[in-house]
Chain A
């Protein structure tokens, strides 16, 4: 099994919330009862003039050791093999909210009387060679979704390139 996961480059997240809206458009989350599957939180630290503002975009993390799977009494929550998405089978879900109780990220949502719903990693899109809707929409490429092992490699490469660029800029120009 390949385990896909979301990643967020906090240095590129501007808190624009396009990911929230793209997710709602993808999943038809139009009613007032359902919140979005993705949340963006802004945090501020410090006092003027030494202040930092940062944003974090969060959805279901499709955890490796998912507490929602462990706690579900009807085994409605399962991991799908191909990309490791944690999914809920709405026919088996009894709406007991146990998953919401244990999820560290507040991912499970419930409509008025319906079963649990949450991010499904856009697993069909992944199978079709597309990124999840929230990832594709992200104008600054802060959000990504990849197999877990390549996530680290990609971040390392990006960081190395940044260091190299800085080094190249500070070196004297090559003689003509």
Chain B
């Protein structure tokens, strides 16, 4: 540290990491993709090494700020677990013994094995999987189908795609991660079980700014999260009952004539059936189901329906992580049309699906990906089990993968080529592990030597965003082609380059992929006239001007893109495929109401997957600065439930479900309401997903019911032992 009383100016500047010629510190404009929100980052680099990160000041996404995860980027990039070279297995499968091999040898071996499986068992016997990051997805999907396999699947098999299905079934449009909520211009936010402050921090700030402008806030969710803490009304429901709550609000709105009658008459299908079904949920009944006092349900329904415009902010996944998830989410998003807030300023608008962020920029992303029509390929993994998913989502459903590998039905899967696959994403991860070990050949591309990577035959080292060029575009059309901030660690390489090198070997006839990353992007965005060279000339990015803004009320032109051309309170697609056409409320498969006998033994509702600010799935547990902020596995339990069981704060407890048990510390807190136990997911040594059955899934989406099942908690006999 410099001696402030005898300041040596240059040393002081260097110690404070001030960029400039005096210090030799340069700024490279890049972005953070740890959570995929893609905050713009000023990487402070000295002698080719990252010495510090800051958010880019003036960035329309994060204006100089970062969350704790992004702020820890240095320990993420230079993590001791980073893979240095391609690795070939030398020990038994899963033993974790490898030897380094060259990139050429690794890619040649992979190409040879995959071509062999294609010749012997058909291209469908090879599955391609994309976890994080998402930027390589269109490239991987194109490679998958070019290879001839229908089996492109992603971690979205458990994430926001389910919410998109809910919006799509109602409106024929996807509503995107936040439900297409116009947070910046709305006057009432109905924040439905999401906490952006911990998941997408800059978005949380926009919520605060909205509150400063006088916007009303209704929060729905069991947790006393930062938005709930600040809400005008907090509807603190039992996890998994949001469908009943939404139907009850609909009932109040219709009963009190607060709905948008013109919209409902002209633009909706099935309203009478919906109204009648919602009438089964008067507030007094909904109170019994949800635990929310009936007065609050009425007050929230009135506030949401009478404040114009109003927007529902939905989560990417909390509402769909129930065994009735998509139907619950349909009930929630039906309120948008009911109140006339659909595709109007300050309400909720459709958000086109795109992995380059929904900017509304004209593109050919889907043509780029789908080089072969489904009709020319075998059925996808999960196609029979999840027909609604398969109708709407152009991917295989990864939740069906372990079973298909293990049973060989309807056809054998011999190999998985994965980018960032974590078997702990699946409920009952030990089953997924068993399936991966049963494959003939498993390749994992990873940043770190993870538990799952150890199951692989070949492991390839990927680099992080800071070590490569990357394209991103924000909804405000700020586009960036990032600078490579630092050289890749070891021999690690960008995921997209790895895909392109595999493409040379597997689909040599694909001339576009052969032209490289930038050429592919320019092909995708050709209708908008995107030039990567132009972007590269603007480090830090530029706003793409002159492209037409997306109009509101798009349905007025050609109707809604649904079978009836209307918003469907009653879904034609669901009816056709043998599901409830209305957004019918069903209890979680395990709940105090659905399974009262089971609830005698397991009386508490177990929920997992809510975020802590320093973790995003399993991505940052190994980052020391972040791990130190939450060094041991915990389960949140309300003081009432803890007291009844003689549990004290931070005592070791056993959390058990019918499937299994974990040893964690009890975090006795009012963050959770009485009757609910909450754990973050994937914590090393105490993975909540081990407590969930492999078939605990929503039949519509295939998504696991992570957020509502049953458990019990008792003090653990082992109070002294180390953390698992």
Contacts and interface: CB of A to CB of B under 8 A. Distances in A.
Interface in A117-144: 117, 120, 122-125, 128, 130, 133, 136-141
Interface in B225-263: 226, 229-230, 236
Nearest to B296: A49
Interface string A74-105: 00001010000101011100000000000000
A87 B2 CA distance: 10
Contacts of B3: 89-91
Contact of A162 (B17, B202, B212): B212
A122 to B, nearest CB: 7
Nearest to B640: A48
A19 to B, nearest CB: 8
Nearest to B638: A48
A67 interface: no
A12 to B, nearest CB: 6
A21 B625 contact: yes
Contacts of B626: 21
Interface stretch (A22-30, A58-66, A148-156): A22-30
B187 A169 contact: yes
A140 B15 contact: no
A33 interface: no
B639 to A, nearest CB: 7
B680 interface: no
A44 B71 contact: no
Interface in B43-76: 52-55, 57, 62, 64-68, 70-72, 74-75
A41 interface: no
B13 interface: yes
Nearest to B1: A90
Contacts of A69: none
B368 interface: no
Contacts of B723: none
B15 A139 contact: no
Contact of A51 (B4, B71, B224): B224
A80 B625 contact: no
Contact of A20 (B4, B64, B629, B674): B629
Q: A14, A123, A125 — which one has the most chain B CB atoms within 10 A of its CB?
A: A14
Q: B13, B201, B669 — which one has the most chain A CB atoms within 10 A of its CB?
A: B201
Contacts of A25: 52-53, 71-72, 74, 625
Interface string B100-143: 00000000000000000000000000000000000000000000
B191 to A, nearest CB: 14
B213 interface: yes
Given A139-B66, A140-B204, A166-B214, A122 B236 contact: no
Given A15-B613, A87-B4, A22 B66 contact: yes
Interface in A140-176: 140-141, 158, 161-162, 165-166, 168-169
Q: A15, A18, A133, A166 — which one has the most chain B CB atoms within 10 A of its CB?
A: A18
A17 B613 contact: yes
A12 B53 CA distance: 23
A133 B57 CA distance: 12
Nearest to A55: B226
Nearest to B2: A124
Contacts of A122: 16
A140 B68 CA distance: 12
Contact of B236 (A47, A49, A162): A49
A157 B529 CA distance: 45
B18 A53 contact: no
A60 B269 CA distance: 62
B4 A16 contact: no
A139 B61 CA distance: 11
A161 B236 CA distance: 30
Contacts of B18: 124-125, 128, 130
Nearest to B13: A124
A166 to B, nearest CB: 5
Contacts of A168: 214
A14 B71 contact: no
A26 B17 contact: yes
B312 to A, nearest CB: 20
Interface in A1-59: 11-12, 14-18, 20-22, 24-26, 30, 44, 46-49, 51-54
Contacts of A15: 226, 613
Q: A122, A130, A137 — which one has the most chain B CB atoms within 10 A of its CB?
A: A137
A137 B55 contact: yes
B714 interface: no
B448 interface: no
Contacts of A53: 224, 229, 670-671
Contacts of A20: 68, 625, 629
B55 A21 contact: no
A90 B15 CA distance: 14
A169 B214 contact: yes
B202 A139 contact: yes
Given A21-B72, A124-B13, A51 B670 contact: yes
B179 to A, nearest CB: 21
A136 B671 contact: no
B4 A89 contact: yes
Given A17-B614, A47-B639, A137 B671 contact: no
9 contacts: A14-B198, A20-B629, A136-B54, A137-B55, A139-B66, A139-B67, A139-B201, A162-B212, A165-B213
Interface of B: 1, 3-5, 12-13, 15-18, 52-55, 57, 62, 64-68, 70-72, 74-75, 187, 197-198, 201-202, 204-205, 208, 212-214, 224, 226, 229-230, 236, 613-614, 624-626, 629, 638-640, 669-671, 673-674
Closest 10 CB pairs of A and B: A124-B16, A139-B201, A16-B613, A165-B214, A14-B226, A14-B197, A21-B71, A169-B214, A139-B65, A51-B670
Interface of A: 11-12, 14-18, 20-22, 24-26, 30, 44, 46-49, 51-54, 78, 80, 85, 87, 89-91, 117, 120, 122-125, 128, 130, 133, 136-141, 158, 161-162, 165-166, 168-169
Given A17-B614, A17-B629, A89-B3, 5 more contacts: A18-B613, A26-B52, A128-B16, A133-B54, A141-B205
